[in-house]
Amino acid sequence: MAVSTGTPSPAKPVRRARGEGQWALGHREPLNPNERSKKDDIGLNVRARIETIYAKGGFASIDPADLRGRFRWWGLYTQRKPGIDGGRTAVLEPHELDDEYFMLRVRVDGGQLDLRQLRAIANVSIKYGRDTADLTDRQNVQYHWIRVEDMPAIWEEIEGVGLSTTEACGDTPRVVLGSPVAGISTDEVLDGTPAIREIVDRFIGDPTLANLPRKFKSVVSWLPDVPYEANDISFLGVVHPEHGPGFDLWVGGGLSTNPMLAQRLGAWIPLDEIADVWVGVCKLFRDYGYRRLRSRARLKFLVADWGVEKFRSVLEQEFLGRALLDGPAPELPDRPIDHMGVHEQRDGLFYVGATPVVGRVTGTALAKLADIVEAHGSDRVRLTPHQKLLVLDVPADRVDSLVVALREIGLEANPSPIRRSTMACTGIEYCKLAIVETKAKAAEVVAHIEATGLVAPISVNVNGCPNACARTQIADIGLKGQLVPGPDGEMVEGYQIHLGGGLALAQGQQPGFGRKVRGLKTTALELPAYVERLTREYLAGRKDAD
Which CB sits closer to ligand SF4, 465 or 505?
465
DSSP-assigned beta bridge partners for residue 493: 483
By DSSP bridging, strand 460-463 and strand 422-424 are parallel
Distance in Å, CB of 336 to ligand SF4, minimum:
23
Distance in Å, CB of 390 to ligand SF4, minimum:
24
Q: How many residues does the chain have?
A: 546
Distance in Å, CB of 274 to ligand SF4, minimum:
29
Distance in Å, CB of 260 to ligand SF4, minimum:
17
Which runs of E-coded beta strand occur in 95-232? 98-106, 112-114, 132-135, 141-146, 173-178, 216-221
Task: Give the integer Cα–Cα distance in Å for 129 and 131.
Answer: 5
Q: Are 496 and 512 in contact (CB under 8 A)?
A: no
Residue 392's CB: how many other CB atoms inside 10 A? 20
**Closest by alpha carbon to 378, among 184, 521, 519, 227?**
184
Which CB sits closer to ligand SF4, 303 or 470?
470
Which CB sits closer to ligand SF4, 249 or 524?
524
Task: Give the integer Cα–Cα distance in Å for 493 and 437.
Answer: 8
Task: Give the integer Cα–Cα distance in Å for 375 and 371.
Answer: 6
Distance in Å, CB of 484 to ligand SF4, minimum:
16
Distance in Å, CB of 427 to ligand SF4, minimum:
5
Task: Give the integer Cα–Cα distance in Å for 446 and 460.
Answer: 9
Which CB sits closer to ligand SF4, 86 or 237?
86
Which CB sits closer to ligand SF4, 174 or 286?
174
Angle at 75 between CA 422 and CA 367, to 5 degrees: 60
φ, ψ for residue 166 (rounded to 5)?
Answer: -60, 120
Distance in Å, CB of 310 to ligand SF4, minimum:
32
Which CB sits closer to ligand SF4, 84 or 349?
84
**Closest by alpha carbon to 253, among 270, 236, 269?**
236
Sheet holding 460-463, edge to edge: 422-424, 460-463, 477-485, 491-499, 515-523
Burial 177-193 (b: 16+ CB within 10 A, else e): bbbbbbbbbeebebbbb
CA distances, 59 to each of 1, 37, 149, 369 (Å)? 68, 20, 8, 33
Distance in Å, CB of 466 to ligand SF4, minimum:
7
DSSP character at residue 427: G
Residue 457's CB: how many other CB atoms inside 10 A? 11
Chain residues binding ligand SF4 by CB under 6 A are 425-427, 431, 433-434, 463-465, 467-469
Which CB sits closer to ligand SF4, 403 or 468?
468
Which CB sits closer to ligand SF4, 31 or 470?
470
Distance in Å, CB of 75 to ligand SF4, minimum:
15
Which CB sits closer to ligand SF4, 327 or 494?
494
Distance in Å, CB of 471 to ligand SF4, minimum:
9
Residue nearest to ligand SF4 (CB): 464
Which CB sits closer to ligand SF4, 62 or 434?
434
